[in-house]
């Protein structure tokens, strides 16, 4: 029996085992081998992402180098397995290569760490893009991410409890991160993915024409993981005392629940009867929910105290944004170079603006920070790539993706909405560990979208041929 390997191109930035295309002489692939290799890939990716979190988000040069070395080692194994690579990876890898070789990245001593972090993002995205074409790998990655983030949350709660018992100075949970708001963003991802999984199970794995409470009683046992992750991750967001993190997490979870409900015909009929038949009760329930959130933010607790200081922080951020805007205008087209923010911030800081410019190495606005470092050209290019990915994902929704694929895509879109807003007032995506997790789930969603679009086009061609 002859074994033939399907040959495909592969750049060094790719990280993926995918389904190994090994065929025997009879034209059939050994399914068990492919599944084991793909499962090992998911485990390796999730383990690497968890390691980056325990390294403080891999924000330092040494931590970044260690994580990128892990990516290259896994990429070497993937090259040995002869995988095919998406064209997007070649394009993104080429951009990074051109930026480094042409000097557009700026001073290499400052740029190399952030350049390596972006290479890691491309590698993780490629892994997700390749794995996302198989539904069972999407579900496996979904479970693995929820379980990993829940485990991190449990360890954070344990460490937080020990710190609180040892002294009164600890008030905000931040685990291994320097910023509680960044840790809240990480935990919000776990909560949003969990709500997406619960919503998917409610709409796809419960009986129709029954009440919502009865449907919860019919949820399969696998939702124990997602429900537990929701409680743990949501609790960690609360303990971080992040105002934006909490509010945006709630809104993103509501977005996922509403889209899932509106996508299911039986749910639409149920909620239409509920709202139309009981309008006052529905309005009262909505007002009660808003009142509970307002009570939480306004109560005499640490969370309430944080909410009362919102106007002070907003004024400081606005003043800082004005300073950074003036810095960007010095080099509006190509910016000051990757990794230059700390150097620019030090030159800009004086006695007058020091209270609001002495930050944790970021501008608290990812768009503004990219303008400072890469200028209008680099920021527009990054925005175009991000929008193109989401255009593909939304196109898959219009092609009527179903089941787990639909539920996962909706959850990832909610994660994107969360980061898009949170990154305008904070810097979660400036931490490599969080950026890589987002890149992985975004890559998975792009893989799902590519698979759904390919399937839809094949069905369309088949229909045309039959007619």
Q: For the chain, what is the total number of helices (H) and then of strands (E)?
A: 18, 2
DSSP state of 19: S
Would you tell me the crossing angle of helices 310-328 and 341-348 to the nearest 10 degrees? 100
Is the overall model pTM greater than 0.75, yes or no? yes
| Backbone phi, psi, residue 22, to 5° | -110, 125
- Bridge partners (DSSP) of residue 50 are none
H/E element, 218: none
Encode the chain (467 residues) as per-residue pLDDT tens digits: 333 333 333 333 333 333 334 333 444 445 565 677 778 878 888 898 898 898 887 777 788 888 877 776 765 555 455 456 778 888 888 888 888 877 776 777 778 888 888 988 988 888 888 888 888 888 999 999 999 999 999 999 988 877 654 444 447 888 888 788 899 999 999 999 999 999 888 877 766 666 666 677 677 777 899 999 999 999 999 888 888 899 899 999 999 988 887 776 655 555 555 555 556 655 666 666 666 666 555 544 555 556 556 666 777 778 888 888 888 888 888 888 888 888 888 888 877 777 767 665 677 888 888 999 888 988 999 999 999 999 999 888 876 667 788 889 999 999 999 999 999 988 888 889 999 999 999 999 998 988 888 877 777 777 777 76
Please tell me the predicted confidence (pLDDT) of residue 385: 93
- With b for 16 or more beta-carbon neighbours within 10 A and e for fewer, the 43-74 pattern comes to ebbbebbbebbebbbbbeeebbeebbebbeeb
Max Cα separation, the chain? 77
Please tell me the predicted confidence (pLDDT) of residue 235: 92
Residue 149 in tokens = 């983030």
Name the residue ranges covered by the structural domains of the chain: 4-277+309-466
Please tell me the predicted confidence (pLDDT) of residue 214: 67
């Amino acid at each position: 029996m002859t074994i033939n390997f399907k040959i495909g191109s592969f750049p060094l930035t790719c990280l993926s085992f995918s389904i190994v295309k090994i065929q025997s002489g009879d034209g059939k692939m050994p399914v068990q081998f492919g599944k084991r290799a793909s499962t090992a890939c998911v485990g390796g990716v999730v383990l690497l992402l968890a390691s980056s979190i325990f390294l403080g988000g891999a924000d330092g040069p040494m931590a970044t180098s260690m994580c990128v070395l892990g990516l290259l080692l896994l990429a070497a194994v993937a090259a040995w397995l002869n995988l095919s690579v998406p064209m997007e990876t070649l394009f993104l890898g080429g951009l990074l290569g051109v930026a480094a070789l042409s000097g557009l990245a700026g001073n290499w001593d400052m740029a190399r760490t952030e350049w390596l972090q972006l290479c890691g993002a491309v590698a993780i995205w490629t892994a997700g893009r390749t794995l996302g074409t198989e539904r069972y790998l999407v579900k496996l990655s979904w479970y693995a991410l929820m379980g990993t983030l829940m485990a991190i949350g449990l360890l954070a709660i344990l460490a937080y409890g020990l710190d609180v018992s040892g002294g009164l100075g600890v008030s905000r949970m931040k685990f291994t991160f320097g910023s509680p708001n960044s840790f809240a963003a990480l935990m919000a991802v776990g909560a949003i993915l969990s709500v997406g999984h619960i919503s998917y199970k409610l709409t796809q794995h419960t009986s129709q024409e029954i009440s919502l409470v009865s449907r919860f009683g019919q949820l399969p046992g696998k939702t124990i993981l997602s429900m537990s992750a929701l409680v743990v991750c949501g609790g960690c967001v609360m303990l971080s005392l992040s105002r934006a993190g909490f509010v945006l997490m709630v809104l993103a979870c509501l977005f996922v629940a509403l889209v899932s409900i509106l996508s299911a015909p039986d749910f639409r009929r149920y909620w239409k009867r509920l709202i139309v038949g009981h309008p006052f009760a529905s309005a009262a329930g909505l007002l009660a929910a808003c009142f509970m959130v307002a009570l939480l933010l306004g109560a005499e607790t640490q969370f309430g105290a944080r909410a009362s200081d919102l106007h002070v922080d907003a004024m400081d951020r606005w003043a800082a944004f004005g300073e950074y805007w003036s810095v960007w205008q010095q080099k509006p087209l190509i910016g000051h170079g990757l990794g230059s923010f700390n150097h620019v911030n030090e030159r800009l800081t004086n006695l007058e603006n020091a209270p609001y410019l002495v930050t944790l190495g970021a501008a608290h606005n990812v768009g503004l920070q990219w303008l400072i470092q890469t200028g209008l050209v680099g920021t527009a290019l990054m925005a175009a790539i991000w929008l193109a990915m989401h255009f593909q994902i939304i196109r898959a929704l219009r092609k009527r993706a179903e089941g787990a694929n639909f539920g996962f895509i909706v959850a990832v879109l909610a994660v994107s909405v969360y980061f898009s807003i949170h990154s305008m007032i904070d810097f979660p995506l400036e931490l490599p560990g969080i950026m890589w997790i987002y890149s992985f789930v975004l890559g998975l969603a792009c893989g799902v979208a590519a698979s759904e679009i390919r399937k839809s086009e094949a069905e369309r061609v088949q229909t045309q041929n039959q007619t």
